[in-house]
Amino acid sequence: MHTPNRAIRTEAIRWLCTIAAVVLLAAACVCSTMLLYGGGSWATAAELEASHLAGVEVRELVGTTAYLRSDTPDAPTLWQAAARVLHLPLADPVQMLGAQLPQPAQSRSPSPNQASLLAPIDAWESGTDHIVLGWIPYNTASRTIQMMKDNPDVNVISPGWLTLTSAKGDLRNRAQNTVVQYAHDHHTSVWAMFDNQFDAALTHAVLADDSVRRRVVQQVAAAVRQDGLDGVNVDFENVRTDDRDRFTQFIQELHAALTPMHAVLSVDVTPDIAFLRDDAAFFHAGLAASCDYVVLMAYDEHWGGDPDPGPVADVPWVTQAVDDLLGTGVPAGKILLGLPFYTEFWHRHRDGTVTSTPVATPNIQPALQRQHAKSTWDDALGVAYARYPADDGYVEVWYETDETMQRKLALVSDRGLAGVAIWSLALSDQQTGSGLAEALRQALS
């Protein structure tokens, strides 16, 4: 026989169990909704992640012009926030797997078109004093040396060795002595690339503090001296407009520190957004007066994520960018023209949206051949164009050929520029490198 109190406790337990079951069911529904947020099915969610992962490695090398619009990072998505709180697996698979991607394999049978793309640069460089600089994102010493072997006509390498890491002016130095020695043994200069991690707030904090700025200058100079570097390539991107004068002062101070060591200082700049205006973060004439070379990053005319598809760097756009830089007071003999070794494959969806995937130069023709895509030549833009059907729409691509390279190298010669800078050797291969060399020869023949 049950006592009244026991009966009450039993009934209360039943109600608690019922409520717990309802809560668990509701939580399951919410999690499912969050997973499908922005998509229509589990398969769609998986496809979106796979698509994102496909571009991780090339994006790391290509970079982006999606500049920060604030000093705070984007908030995590609803799914990511819930997954982290609940300790669910695969909360951020892109971040988890991106670091585990293998190095891109060397192309074993590149197409003739890829070989001829780089063909113009060799004779052009060998017959003149032009600089042929190749950027190399940080890699192992053996891989970096292999990239140099694959591109023997590159006479300056700029490996990503120096990085600004804190508002106190801390510097990470990953210089590799074996690479420096190999380069010098093969008559190649080493200008270590010095980046700001694309961080506007970090850069402002360093530039605005005189003592911190001087500390950075001293550390860079020490790295040049200790590691036997021939120069430094400053790649500070996403710099605030109000830091324009501070950045110019920083370059002046760094140049003063490097000059006694006979080390070369180059600075990377983007094309002006408005023609013949020099009012953004880079004071071009001031920078040119304070360094040895200005490197014009003449690419990302249409960048990854751009809602308006188009070429990465067509010839008219590059020509205007060069002429504009000359018009803002930069001497032609101090300009290196940046050349992209990649393009974007644009997917136009039926709903009008556009997504893109970056593809390295050696992989463009194989990708088009797999889709049986036919290319046409756009003489006005100086690039080739291809289009093929795809799920939910079609894919189109504008890409460079040997003719494109010839026109750009002719521009370098006609304007009397100092040379070219390739982004990047990690997106090249042996066949592409030999082709670039031939292109240089033909450009001056």
Q: What is the pLDDT of residues 168-178, one digit of tens each?
A: 999 999 999 99
Read off the pLDDT band of 281 (50, 70, 90): confident
Average pLDDT over residues 198-221: 98
- Reference 406, options 123, 109, 62; nearest CA is 123
Q: What is the pLDDT of residues 293-310, one digit of tens each?
A: 999 999 999 988 899 999
Q: Look-up: residue for tokens 């006005």? A: 380
Spatial separation of the C-alpha atoms in residues 333 and 417, rounded to whole Å: 5
Q: Look-up: residue for tokens 């891109």? A: 104
pLDDT in the model for residue 428: 79
Read off the pLDDT band of 85 (50, 70, 90): very low
Domain boundaries, the chain: 4-62+77-97, 112-297+315-331+404-421+428-443
Read off the pLDDT band of 41 (50, 70, 90): very low
pLDDT in the model for residue 17: 65
Spatial separation of the C-alpha atoms in residues 393 and 348, rounded to whole Å: 6
Read off the pLDDT band of 431 (50, 70, 90): low
Q: DSSP code of 40?
A: S
Q: What is the pLDDT of residues 134-144, one digit of tens each?
A: 999 999 999 99
Q: What is the pLDDT of residues 336-377, one digit of tens each?
A: 999 999 999 999 999 999 999 999 999 999 999 999 999 999
Average pLDDT over residues 399-418: 97
Q: What is the pLDDT of residues 144-153, one digit of tens each?
A: 999 999 999 9
Q: Which helix (H) or strand (E) holds 192?
A: strand 189-195
Q: Is 164 exposed, middle or buried (0-12, 13-18, 19+ CB in 10 A)?
A: buried
Read off the pLDDT band of 107 (50, 70, 90): very low
Enter the tokens of residue 298: 């003449």
**CATH class in words for 112-297+315-331+404-421+428-443:** alpha beta
Read off the pLDDT band of 387 (50, 70, 90): very high
Enter the tokens of residue 115: 């070989």
Spatial separation of the C-alpha atoms in residues 142 and 182, rounded to whole Å: 10
- 148 Cβ neighbours under 8 A, 6+ residues apart: 134, 154, 157, 182, 183, 186, 188, 425
Average pLDDT over residues 12-38: 60
Q: Is the pLDDT of residue 118 over 70?
A: no
β-partners of residue 136 are 159
pLDDT in the model for residue 221: 99
Average pLDDT over residues 314-342: 97
Q: Is the pLDDT of residue 127 over 90?
A: no
Residue 399 φ/ψ, nearest 5 degrees: -145, 160
pLDDT in the model for residue 29: 58
pLDDT in the model for residue 120: 61
Window from 13-22, 61-70, 195-204, 428-437 with minimum mean pLDDT:
61-70
pLDDT in the model for residue 433: 62
pLDDT in the model for residue 148: 96
Q: What is the pLDDT of residues 218-276, one digit of tens each?
A: 999 999 999 999 999 999 999 999 999 999 999 999 999 999 999 999 999 998 755 44
The answer to whether 276 touches 239, Cβ cutoff 8 Å, is no
